[in-house]
């Protein structure tokens, strides 16, 4: 299995997708009113696809996964460029912090980060902070599912693609437990490799403390799960 998608729920995928493709320099793959997909090439065969589907209702629950964009010495310049593309400043109670909090065209919060040595070679997305009830347990879970390995960082546990390219997956202590019935607005998708068995993948998820999720989202060509802290993710069929 490998990590393929960063998924952002949206009411208007075209508007949101065009913003993020321009913001990150991602190459559009699918452009329809119902789905916008774009690929972010990160070097040495490492890539991450942005998948922005249309959903009937975009949740307003607090984010448990979000994007921290690379800023560093150009933080103010990058933030101003993003405002020009349609982002707006947000006050989510951050008070006096070193990073800049913005919202995309549908007010999805993200951050433009200050200089941090751990962000060397990440590309435009520096980090993906994910809320966790047990960072060691969840780091082991995501490492097994993605093949990502421990890396230096500022979070209690940090994973990264073994190439050393691309964003950091930061396991961060959750401010509050995941509430039942509240769907994450941002989630990850993992894809099976050729020859991998979907049922074996389901058994591995259960062994590591996750579970398959019963949902009312209709028939889907992939299977939906929750990690041990309740964060949704999908396992996509082999290509």
Q: What is the pLDDT of residue 93?
A: 85
What value does the mean pLDDT take over residues 123-133?
Answer: 98
Sign of CA dihedral 117, 108, 212, 197: negative
pLDDT band at 143 (very low <50, low <70, confident <90, very high): very high
Compute the distance between CA of residue 77 and CA of residue 58 in angstroms, rounded to an integer.
30
Compute the distance between CA of residue 212 and CA of residue 234 in angstroms, rounded to an integer.
9
Compute the distance between CA of residue 161 and CA of residue 218 in angstroms, rounded to an integer.
33
All structural domains of the chain, each given as residue ranges with its CATH number in brackets, are 2-236 (3.10.180.10)
N- to C-terminal Cα distance for the chain?
A: 11
pLDDT band at 112 (very low <50, low <70, confident <90, very high): very high
> Is the pLDDT at 219 greater than 90, yes or no?
no
| Total Cβ atoms within 10 A of residue 133 | 16
Q: What is the pLDDT of residue 184?
A: 94
Percentage, residues of the chain above pLDDT 70: 100
The H or E element that residue 3 is part of is: strand 2-8
Cα dihedral 134/137/139/145 (nearest 10)? -130
Of residues 196, 194, 151, 191, the one with CA closest to residue 171 = 151
User: Is 207 in contact with 225 (CB distance < 8 Å)?
Assistant: no
Q: What is the pLDDT of residue 128?
A: 98
Q: At what angle do helices 13-24 and 75-85 cross, to 10 degrees?
A: 150
Q: What is the pLDDT of residue 181?
A: 83
Q: What is the pLDDT of residue 226?
A: 97
> Dihedrals φ, ψ of 214, to 5°?
-80, 130
What value does the mean pLDDT take over residues 223-233?
Answer: 97
Q: What is the pLDDT of residue 129?
A: 98
pLDDT digits (tens, 9 = 90+) for 76-93: 999 999 999 999 999 988
Averaged pLDDT of the chain: 96
Compute the distance between CA of residue 78 and CA of residue 63 in angstroms, rounded to an integer.
23
User: Is 112 in contact with 78 (CB distance < 8 Å)?
Assistant: yes
What value does the mean pLDDT take over residues 128-145?
Answer: 98
pLDDT band at 95 (very low <50, low <70, confident <90, very high): confident
Helix spans in the chain (H): 13-24, 75-85, 135-146, 198-207
What value does the mean pLDDT take over residues 56-63?
Answer: 91
Q: What is the pLDDT of residue 44?
A: 82
Q: What is the pLDDT of residue 23?
A: 98
Q: What is the pLDDT of residue 197?
A: 96
The H or E element that residue 132 is part of is: strand 125-132
What value does the mean pLDDT take over residues 215-227?
Answer: 88
pLDDT digits (tens, 9 = 90+) for 204-216: 999 999 999 988 7
pLDDT digits (tens, 9 = 90+) for 13-46: 999 999 999 999 999 999 999 999 999 999 887 8
What value does the mean pLDDT take over residues 58-86?
Answer: 96
Q: Calculate the alpha carbon distances from 111 to 55, 105, 124, 138, 170 in Å.
A: 24, 14, 12, 23, 14
Q: Kindly report the CA angle at 42 between 39 and 48, in degrees rounded to 5?
A: 40
Sign of CA dihedral 85, 90, 94, 95: positive
């Amino acid at each position: 299995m490998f990590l393929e998608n960063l998924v952002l729920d949206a009411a208007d995928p075209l508007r949101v997708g065009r913003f993020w493709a321009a913001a990150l320099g991602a190459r559009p793959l699918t452009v329809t009113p119902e789905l916008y997909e774009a690929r972010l090439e990160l070097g040495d065969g490492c890539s991450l696809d942005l998948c922005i589907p249309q959903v009937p209702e975009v949740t307003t629950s607090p984010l448990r996964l979000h994007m921290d964009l690379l800023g560093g010495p150009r933080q103010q310049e990058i933030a101003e460029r993003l405002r020009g593309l349609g982002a707006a400043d947000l006050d989510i109670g951050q008070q006096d912090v070193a990073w800049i909090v913005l919202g995309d065209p549908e007010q999805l919060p993200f951050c433009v980060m200050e200089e941090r040595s751990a962000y060397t070679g990440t590309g435009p997305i520096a980090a993906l902070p994910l809320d966790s009830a047990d960072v060691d347990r969840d780091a082991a879970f995501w490492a097994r599912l993605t093949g990502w390995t421990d890396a230096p960082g500022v979070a209690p546990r940090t994973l990264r693609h073994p190439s050393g390219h691309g964003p950091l997956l930061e396991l961060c202590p959750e401010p509050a437990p995941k509430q039942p019935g509240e769907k994450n607005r941002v989630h990850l998708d993992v894809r099976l490799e050729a020859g991998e068995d979907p049922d074996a993948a389901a058994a591995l998820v259960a062994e590591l403390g996750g579970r398959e999720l019963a949902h009312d989202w209709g028939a889907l060509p992939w299977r939906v799960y929750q990690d041990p802290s309740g964060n949704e993710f999908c396992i996509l069929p082999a290509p």
